[in-house]
Amino acid sequence: MGETKPSLLQRYMALPKKVRLYIGISTFIVAFAGDRITKNIEENNAIREEAEKRLAMQQQHHQPEKSN
């Protein structure tokens, strides 16, 4: 009744070394992949924004001026 549950660190340390290594490596791989994907999305968004700005400037530059 009065038993306390082991802490998360204690339970983690009780796992076999290979399992802890697998957890660490897989966590690193997921974090690395997420970073690369996020960076790629941000770069694509920046390129798209720049292209839209240039297109808008080009369209404004080539529009005939309205005369009264």
Residues 37-59, mean pLDDT to the nearest whole number: 96
Dump pLDDT digits (tens) for 25-45: 999 999 999 999 999 999 999
Which run of H or of E encompasses 13? helix 8-14
Is the pLDDT at 65 greater than 70, yes or no? no
Helix or strand holding residue 36 (H, E): helix 17-62
Give the gyration radius of the chain's Cα atoms.
27
